Amino acid sequence: MATTIHPTAIVESGAQLGAGCQIMAHAIVTKHCVLGDGVVVHPFAVIGGEPQYLKFDSATPSQVRIGAGTVIREHVTVNRSIHGGQATIIGANCFLMATSHVAHDCELGDHVVLANAALLAGHVCVGAHTFMGGGAAVHQFCRIGERVMVAGLAAITRDVPHFLMVAERDDVIAFNVVGLRRRGFGREAMVELKRAFEAVFFTNGNIRAVAAELLTKQTWATAEARRFLEFFAEGKRSFARARRRKTEESDDAA
């Protein structure tokens, strides 16, 4: 399958394009890019541009790597890594809608969707099958887990564990139940995830320590529950917090 580069598109010498790619008019793909098969880059997108980092040396040999089947819409910007020999990575079959931004050294898993104007600062990691709502913004070095639903206009400044829905400013609402069922999560996994969620977010104490104790001192039959709890053992930032129960809010009001 032939790759097509439309008139007025710019593909710099040294860029690597897989089979069947489409680079639309006025799109820019710099020499620092490696695109998998079937990647589509729409007009006015800039892929592989220099990072927005004041100390960056433009001679740094870094890259952007984009997985097969990913679609990049109009005016999207994806910046290359600030580190020599490293890359900003976007997985396979992702969908980056118009005006979204992926900063240097981000890593996106497969099937990630960034809605219009979603913004990722540097060094952000986003797990597979996660959806970022329009206008949502993520602070540098944050981790967003797998199959997370981030609401439009959300401000994310903390890590968001796998499988959750998050809104406003680091406000965990609940599990992404509809999304998980669509992905084939069974009843046993859903029950255990709910139990783990309740224990982690509504137990007093350090959330990282609570999750570690749950993982080591209780038996979990499903890989999904274990994976949820293992998320808390990694990273350097604090974690998004669950909305307080109405009963707790009522008690405070009384």
Tell me whether residue 105 is one of the annotated catalytic residues. Answer: yes
Q: Which of 202, 194, 204 is nearest to 228 (CA)?
A: 194
Contact 150, 100 (CB under 8 A): no
Tell me whether residue 104 is one of the annotated catalytic residues. Answer: yes
Question: From CA 132, how far away is CA 81, in angstroms rounded?
Answer: 22
Residues 6+ apart with CB under 8 A from 157: 139, 142, 169, 170, 237
Active-site choice (36, 38, 67, 105): 105
Please give the C-alpha separations between residue 130 and each of 127, 135, 145, 202, in angstroms, as whole numbers.
Answer: 6, 15, 7, 24
Active-site choice (38, 91, 109, 122): 122
213 SS3 class: helix
Active-site choice (101, 104, 123, 129): 104
Tell me whether residue 186 is one of the annotated catalytic residues. Answer: no
107 SS3 class: strand
Catalytically active residues are 104-105, 122
